[in-house]
Amino acid sequence: MPDGLADKIGAVGYASGQVVDSNLQVVKVTGSIQPVEKVGISLAWFNDTLAKTATGVKKDLGNEIDLGLNYAYSEDVAMGLLFGYFGVGRNIKDNVEAASGAGSSTSAYELIGTVAVSF
């Protein structure tokens, strides 16, 4: 994500365009380890809610979990893999059900692969 916003609100929420809002409150808990010299593993949890809503509208947008794996192939080349899962909250479920008349809304998944080369 070029502007780095996905690291603040979660990769799946950012890609959907549904979560990017000036009225957004995000709680992020993250951790990472480096089990061996060239491998890094990261885990991040995001709780996305609206700061203000109209009366009767739920604030909960959902929760996202991102699991990342990074491998430093050499000093100049790094590869990464990120798996993101976004479980929709009541706000999104209610809007999807109202718009489609259907009784369910699904969670979102995303898999992102990256290669970085530095000169």
Residue 25 lies in a domain: yes
Residue 61 lies in a domain: yes
Q: Could you identify the residue written with the tokens 């885990």?
A: 43
Question: What is the edge-to-edge ordering of all strands in the sheet holding 60-72?
Answer: 24-36, 39-50, 60-72, 77-88, 108-117
- Quote the pLDDT of residue 1: 41
- Quote the pLDDT of residue 21: 54
Residue 1 lies in a domain: no
Of 5-9, 81-85, 88-92, 115-119, minimum mean pLDDT range: 5-9
Q: What pTM does this model have?
A: 0.78
Distance CA 42, CA 81 (A): 10
Q: Can you give the residue range of the structural domain that contains 40?
A: 6-117
**What digits encode the pLDDT tens for the residues 21-55?**
578 888 999 999 999 999 999 999 999 888 888 88
Distance CA 68, CA 90 (A): 27
- Quote the pLDDT of residue 99: 74
How many domains in the chain?
1
Mean pLDDT of the chain: 83
